Amino acid sequence: MAQVQIEERGDIAVLRLTNGVTNAIGPEMIRDLSGAVAQIRENFHGMVLAGGEKFFSMGFDLPNLLTLDRQGMADFFYGFNDACMAIYTLPMPTVFAAAGHAVAGGHILALACDYRLAAEGKTKFGLNEVRLGVPVPYLSDLIQRQIVSDRSARQILYRGDLIPVADAVVMGLVDEVVAKDALEERAVAFVSELVALPAPAFAAIKENRVEAVREQYEKRYVKKNEAFLDLWLSPETQARLAEAAKKF
């Protein structure tokens, strides 16, 4: 698993993205991430999701993804959503720890966790898909609306702005802000408090929380994902994506 690694902290796994400074998300990372989540499900009782110090993740690996045809992009996109669902439905407590920015796909992975902790300072979140000409993926749209109020979700989804960590706390997107050098220690301690609770009861309660989103996604995901791909491959969006890819 070249682009992710699992670090053992007793019965808690720290799952870390390790694809360079930006931690851009492409097909290889999704394969590695999916395999790692499956291992964690079988061998641990809690998980912390972490990344790099500058970026947790900058989002989709646009230079790579822009070379794919529709089938290749579909394979990646469906796999990405499957990985997010696997994290979202893990029957154990999960905490996201953002030492750096979590943008687009990075923000989406943050949503898949039960709690979100972030480093104080300049850390930013954001779903900027609308600015690139695509919708926020359907699964993450549903989860975002579950986590924050409708008013905050509307602002996040409609505008595509980058959100400073202080504003993310006010919105309810981030649960706690921690000094960067203490972030992962705090995240592990946070998960440990939940792991100490009776695991079958926690898993049943979490299943109840995720059930409505899971069922709604499973009913509509093909139509919604294909609509995303239609827009992704449109000439106007491809031009916007090509311009954005220059930042990688």
Please give the helix or strand (H or E) that residue 46 lies within, else none.
strand 46-50
Domain membership flag for residue 203: no
User: Residue 246: pLDDT above 80?
Assistant: yes
How far is residue 132's CA from residue 120's CA, in Å, rounded to a whole number?
28
Domain membership flag for residue 114: yes
How far is residue 80's CA from residue 82's CA, in Å, rounded to a whole number?
5
Domain membership flag for residue 112: yes
Per-residue pLDDT of 15-68, as tens digits, reads 999 999 999 999 999 999 999 999 999 999 999 999 999 999 999 999 999 999
Domain membership flag for residue 229: no
* CATH code of the domain covering residue 142: 3.90.226.10
Q: Average pLDDT in the 228-245 region?
A: 97
- Total domains, the chain: 1
Domain membership flag for residue 239: no
Q: In the block, which residue shows the tokens 């827009």?
A: 231
User: Residue 228: pLDDT above 70?
Assistant: yes
Tokens of 122: 């300049």
Per-residue pLDDT band for 1 (boundaries 50, 70, 90) equals low
Q: Specify the pLDDT at position 247.
A: 87
Per-residue pLDDT band for 248 (boundaries 50, 70, 90) equals confident
Q: Average pLDDT in the 131-144 region?
A: 98
How far is residue 105's CA from residue 92's CA, in Å, rounded to a whole number?
22
Residue 43 CB burial class (10 angstroms; 0-12, 13-18, ≥19): exposed
In angstroms, what CA-CA distances link 56 with 10, 119, 123?
23, 11, 10
How far is residue 237's CA from residue 218's CA, in Å, rounded to a whole number?
27
Per-residue pLDDT of 85-128, as tens digits, reads 999 999 999 999 999 999 999 999 999 999 999 999 999 999 99
Domain membership flag for residue 238: no
Output the CA angle 65-147-12, nearest 5 degrees. 75
Predicted structure pTM score: 0.96
User: Residue 226: pLDDT above 90?
Assistant: yes
Please give the helix or strand (H or E) that residue 189 lies within, else none.
helix 183-195
Domain membership flag for residue 240: no
Range of the domain at 39: 4-195
Domain membership flag for residue 212: no
